[in-house]
Structure 1
Amino acid sequence: MSARTSPGPTTLRRIVELACRAPSIHNTQPWLWRISDTRIDLYGDPTRQLPVADSRGRSLTVSCGAALHHAQVAADAVGLDARVARLPTPGSHDHLATIDLAPGRRSAHATADLRALERRRTDRSRFTSWPMSDERLAALSRAVSRDGVQVVPMTNVSERFRLEFLLRRAIARESSDPRYDEEQRQWIDRSPADGIPSAAVCAGADPRPRMSRFTSHDPMDLDELVQSSDGLLLISTEEDDRAAWLQAGEVLSAAWLRATTDGLSVVPLSQVVEIEETRLALTHELLGGRAAPQALLRIGWQEIGHSTRPLTPRRPVDDVLIT
C-alpha cells in the first residue's frame, strides 16, 4: 500500500483481524470494534468479562489494551500513522479507544513487529534450561516501559522468593474457591472460536497436561511454574484505573512482541494480580506502595518447534465488528 493512500475498508478490516490476535485472559477475546471512514473504535465487551476472576473488569481492559497495541503494530505495517485517543467518550465505560488513521511511512521496525505479531504464542510448556540473563531482561524492560507504566525485572533473589510465595498463595486461594475452578473449566474447549483448547495445555503427544493455571494445583507441581532459569517481569502503573489498565495492556503486548522477536517465550502468571490479598502484598512489599501491579510475566527461551504450534482459536472478524 502506498504511503500516500488513505486506508479503505479492506485495510481497516485487516487491521482489526490482526489486532484480534492479541492475548486475552482465558482467550475470552473481550473486545468489539467499529470501522468508519479512516477510524477504528475499540470497545470492551462486558458479556465476556469473567465475573469471578475479573469482577472489576481490570483483566478485560488489560486484554483490550493488548489488542489496541496490536492494532497500532498492524497499522504501522501497512504504512499508516495511528493516532490513539484513550477513553475518548466521557461517561462511557465500554468505549476504550479511538484510532484515527492517516497515510504515513512504515517505521524501521514495522516488518519485524508484524512478523512477531503473527508468530506470537502462549507456550505453556516448560522453557529450556538456558538461563535468562539479567542484562537481557533489563534491555527488554527499558525498550517497552513508558510514562506511567513501568516494566521491572525481578532479578533479586529475595524478590523472586517473595513473588513465588505470593504466586503459590494466590493459586491456593483460587483452588480453594470452587467458583474459580468452574469458571476456568467453562473456558476449556469452549468453542472452535474462543477459550483454551485442551491440546494447548498438553505437551504434544504426552497426554499429561503441562503445569498451568488450567491443570494441577498440587503444591508439588507448583515448582514448575517458575524455574531458576526463567526471567520474571512485573508490569506496574502509577495509577490504578481504567486508563492505566489499558496502557498496561499496550505495554504487555509490546513486551510480548519484543520477546518473540528475540526468540523468547512469555507466559502470564495472572493469579497473583487477580487475588486482592496477593495484589496488595505485591503493591506494598515489592513496589513500596508507589505503584499498582498489573501483570507478572514469565520469560524463557523457546523450545525448538515453538513457532510451529497452532494458534489458539479466534472469533471471526464479523463477530467482533459492530455498526
Structure 2
Amino acid sequence: MTTTRLVPVETLHKIVEIATRAPSVHNTQPWRWRGGSQMLELFADPSRQLRETDPDGRNLTLSCGAALHHAQVAAEALGWETQVSRHPDPAQPELLARLVLSPGPPPATAEDTLAALDRRCTDRRRFTAWPVPEERQAHLARLANHWGARAVALTDESERFIAERLVRTAHRVQSADAAAQAEQAAWRHRGVEDGVPADALPGAADLVGAHRNRFEGAGDDTSDPDLEASDGLLVFFDTRDDAAAWLRAGEGLGAMWLAATTGGLALVPLSQVIEVPETRAAFQTEVLGSLAHPLLLVRVGWRSTSRPPPARTPRRPVSEVLELA
C-alpha cells in the first residue's frame, strides 16, 4: 500500500521562485500561482497584459508557458515528478495548467540545471561574430519540439532576408504608434520588482554594430545593420493560433533558452514582428507559405566571454505571486 507524500511549503516556494525567473515580455511577469498539498496551479494575470501590443494575450500566454517549463524542470531537479494538465477547466480560461507533484529521484544533472536556471537572462548586447552552426540551431529547435512546441531554424537566405525586413517594418510601425510607445515606456525603469531597468539595456558602446532592439527609436531601413550570417534565426509556429499553442510555444521557448544558456549562446525574442498584424500576416504568407501561424521569432548568437553578464531584471517576491490553499 502506497502512501501519499505532501509537498513541503518550502518546496512549493522554491519551485515558484525558480519558475518566476522565466522570461516575460517587458518583464511583466503576467502569472499567478496557487499551491496545495500536492499540486501547483498556474494562472494568467490579465492585469499585467500589454493591451496595446498584445491584445489577444499571445505574449502573455507565451510568457506563462516559459514559467511552466521552468517549474517542471525545477521540480524535477528538486526531487519531484510532475503530471501536467494544460487548460484543465474550460470554465476558468485563466487557469493555464495544473501540476500534480509526487516524489521522484532528481536527475544527475540537477545541480547544473538549477545553476543554469539561475543564470538565464536576456542579453540584448551585440553577439560575437562566430557563426552559430546550423546543427546547433536544429538542436535548439528539436529541444523545443520535445516540449510540444513547433520550432524550426530559418537557414534559407531568402527567408532570413524576409524575416529581417519584417522585423524592421514592425519596429518602425510600433515606433510610430504613440499608444504602443507609451505602454512600453510604462514598463521601463519601473521599479525594483518588474519592468526593464536601465542597466539591463545595452549601453552606447554595446550598441555599435548591434541589431536594433525594441527599446531604441526607429530609423529607416538603411540605418540598421544587415542580418549577420553568424546569427541564428528560429521561428515558433503552429497550425493553430490559440492559447493552447501559445502555452506550448512558451514551454518550448523555456527549454530552448535554458539550452542556449548552458551552451554559451544568447537568445533575444523578436516578438514585434508577431505583434503587428500586417507583419504577422506577411510572415505567415512569405516565410511559412500560409501553412502555419507564426507565434514568435528569436535571434540566437554567441555571447562574448570577455564581458561580464548583463544586469538581471528584477522579480516580484514569491509572496506576491503564490497563494497557498
Normalising by structure 2, what TM-score? 0.92
Tell whether 2:279 aligns with 1:254: no
Go from structure 1 to structure 2 and tell me whether the alpha carbon gap of 1:124 and 1:206 turns closer, same or farther (over 3 Å shift).
closer
CA contact (8 A) 2:273 2:279 kept: yes
Q: Which residue identity lines up with residue 41 of structure 1 in the other structure? A: E
Q: How does 1:299-318 map to 2 (within 5 A)?
A: 299-304=300-305, 308-318=309-319
From the superposition, tell whether residues 118 and 300 of structure 1 become closer, same or farther in structure 2 (CA, over 3 Å): same
Q: Residues 229 and 87 of structure 1: is their aligned pair in 2 closer, same or farther, counting only changes over 3 Å?
A: same
Contact 1:148/1:238 (CA < 8 Å) preserved in 2? no
Q: Against the structure 1 CA distance between its residues 148 and 79, is the aligned structure 2 distance closer, same or farther, given a 3 Å change threshold? A: closer
Give the drift of 1:113.
2.6
After superposition, the Cα gap between the structure-2 partners of 1:321 and 1:295, relative to the gap in structure 1 and judged at 3 Å, is same
SS of the residue corresponding to residue 149 of structure 1 reads coil
- 290-299 or 19-28, larger mean C-alpha shift: 290-299
Task: Provide Cα deviations, 1:142-190, integer angstroms capped at 9, x if missing partner.
Answer: 2321486321101110000000111111111111111111111111111
Residue 107 of structure 2: aligned partner: 107
Q: CA deviation at 1:121?
A: 1.1
Supply the RMSD in Å over aligned alpha carbons.
2.2
Q: Tell me which stretches of 4 or more aligned residues in structure 1 moved more than 6 Å.
A: 204-208
TM-score normalised to the size of structure 1? 0.93
Aligned to 1:178: 178
1:215 is the counterpart of 2:216? yes
Per-residue CA deviation, residues 38-82 of structure 1 (Å, 9 max, x unaligned), is 110100001000010100111101000000000001101111101
SS of structure 1 residue aligned to 2:84: strand
For structure 2, the residue ranges without an aligned partner over 5 or more in a row are none
Gaps of 5+ in 1: none
| Stretch moving more, 29-38 or 146-155 | 146-155
1:267 maps to a residue whose letter is V
Tell me how far apart the structure 1 counterparts of residues 102 and 81 of structure 2 sit (CA, whole Å). Answer: 5
* 2:77 corresponds to: 77
Deviates further, 295-304 or 147-156: 147-156
Of 263-272 and 277-286, the range deviating more from structure 2: 277-286
CA-CA distance at 1:101 after TM superposition? 0.4
Could you list the per-position Cα deviations for residues 74-102 of structure 1 after superposition, in whole angstroms to 9, with x for gaps in the alignment?
10111110111001111212111101000
Counterpart in the other structure of 1:159: 159
> Shift of residue 108 of structure 1?
4.4
Q: Which residue of 1 aligns with 2:297?
A: 296
**Counterpart for residue 272 of structure 1:** 273
Query: What is the match of residue 24 of structure 1?
Result: 24
Sort the Cα spacing of 1:205 and 1:296 in 2 relative to 1 into closer, same or farther, 3 A: closer
Secondary structure, in 3 states, of the residue corresponding to 2:240? coil
**Matched residues in 2 for 1:306 and 1:6: separation?**
44
Contact 1:77 1:106 in 2 (8 A): yes
Cα distance in 1, alignment partners of residues 184 and 202 from structure 2: 16
Percent identity for Structure 1 against Structure 2: 47
- Aligned AA (1:257): L
**How many residue pairs are counted as aligned between the two chains?**
320
CA drift at 1:307: 6.1
Q: Relative to structure 1, is the Cα distance of residues 206 and 291 closer, same or farther in structure 2, using a 3 angstrom cutoff?
A: closer
- After superposition, the Cα gap between the structure-2 partners of 1:146 and 1:237, relative to the gap in structure 1 and judged at 3 Å, is farther
Partner Cα separation in structure 2 for residue 306 and residue 43 of structure 1: 37
Name the CA distance, whole Å, in 2 between partners of 1:225 and 1:125: 16
Equivalent-residue separation in structure 2 for 1:52 and 1:7 (angstroms): 40
